[in-house]
């Protein structure tokens, strides 16, 4: 598959601004990102490059900073190798060690998650994923029926299983992610995780004790009524992929309208995760 690189250079962009820009680039089809000395490169299948959408994203973000970019067609290369080169182990709450297949095991941690870092989201490095992992570590998943919506690599589904969930359904609209969940479940010797390709239509009418959704504000708002319908009374909803000041009040109001009570939230570098319970 032929790819196009968009190389971004900025001297004054903050980390949280870069994270927001990357999230919006992901929404328009960019699937791999590589840090550079003075910026980063974003990669997209050449056939999916929409320059008008790219310019719209840049104009909507570049308010407090300036950023230059160049578009570059590149030769085919080993994309998984590039992805692996940017993957380092992480530790969450001193309890969970997330590593790739090519890293040394550390069995002293109560929970170890092994991820084969292919071109799918969810390695635990992003603040939103880290906060969701923390919520899973803090709360009771024993014998629960769990949904991981927008599952990426399946990292949340894997920890939920390791925390004692009865069954876990992992859903993503990207077939690369679905394949990744299956492979990563096998790497972690788990047999209670099912992966489905699709979106809210594949979960309609199902029933869960816990729903995990680390996506973005607009998709969460679009899917919230489905979550509310599928969540059992007393069930828990964990959301992330949005900002505290701009997005949390809107999501709280939406949840309140659907009888989903706000319980708590976490913040890391302006990113937010929140917990709700169905009345």
Banded pLDDT at 146 (limits 50, 70, 90): very high
* Per-residue pLDDT tens over the stretch 197-234: 999 999 999 999 999 999 888 899 999 999 999 999 99
Its pTM stands at 0.77
* Per-residue pLDDT tens over the stretch 238-272: 999 999 998 999 999 999 999 999 999 999 988 99
Distance CA 124, CA 140 (A): 20
Instruction: State the binding site for S-adenosyl-L-methionine.
Output: 129, 150, 172, 214
* Per-residue pLDDT tens over the stretch 52-107: 888 888 877 766 677 888 998 876 665 556 656 667 788 999 999 999 888 899 99
> Where are the chain's structural domains?
3-77, 131-278
Angle value at C-alpha 217, between 253 and 237, nearest 5 degrees: 65
Kindly report the CATH number that applies to the domain delimited by 131-278.
3.40.50.150
Instruction: State the binding site.
Output: 129, 150, 172, 214
Return the CATH superfamily for domain 3-77.
ACT domain (3.30.70.260)
């Amino acid at each position: 598959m032929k790819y196009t690189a968009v190389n971004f250079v900025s001297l004054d962009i903050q980390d949280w601004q870069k994270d927001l820009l990357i999230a919006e680039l992901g929404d328009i089809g960019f699937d791999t990102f590589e840090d550079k000395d003075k910026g980063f490169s974003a990669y997209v299948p050449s056939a999916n490059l929409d320059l008008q959408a790219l310019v719209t994203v840049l104009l909507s973000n570049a308010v407090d900073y300036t950023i230059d970019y160049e578009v570059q067609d590149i030769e085919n290369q080993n994309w998984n190798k590039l992805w692996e080169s940017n993957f380092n182990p992480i530790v969450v709450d001193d309890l969970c060690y997330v590593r790739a297949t090519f890293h040394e095991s550390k069995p002293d941690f109560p929970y170890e998650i092994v991820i084969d870092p292919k071109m799918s989201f969810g390695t635990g490095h992003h603040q939103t994923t880290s906060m969701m992992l923390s919520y899973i570590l803090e709360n009771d998943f024993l014998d629960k029926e769990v949904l991981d919506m927008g599952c990426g690599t399946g990292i949340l589904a894997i920890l939920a299983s390791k925390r004692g969930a009865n069954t876990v359904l992992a859903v993503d609209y990207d077939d690369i992610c679905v394949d990744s969940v299956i492979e990563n479940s096998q790497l972690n010797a788990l047999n209670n995780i099912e992966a489905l390709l699709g979106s809210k239509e594949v979960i309609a009418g199902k029933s869960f004790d816990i729903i995990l959704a680390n996506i973005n504000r607009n998709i969460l708002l679009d899917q919230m009524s489905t979550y509310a319908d599928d969540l059992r009374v007393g069930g828990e909803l964990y959301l992330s992929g949005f900002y505290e000041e701009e997005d949390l009040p809107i999501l709280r109001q939406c949840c309140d309208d659907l009888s989903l009570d706000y319980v708590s939230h976490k913040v890391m570098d302006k990113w937010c995760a929140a917990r709700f319970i169905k009345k």
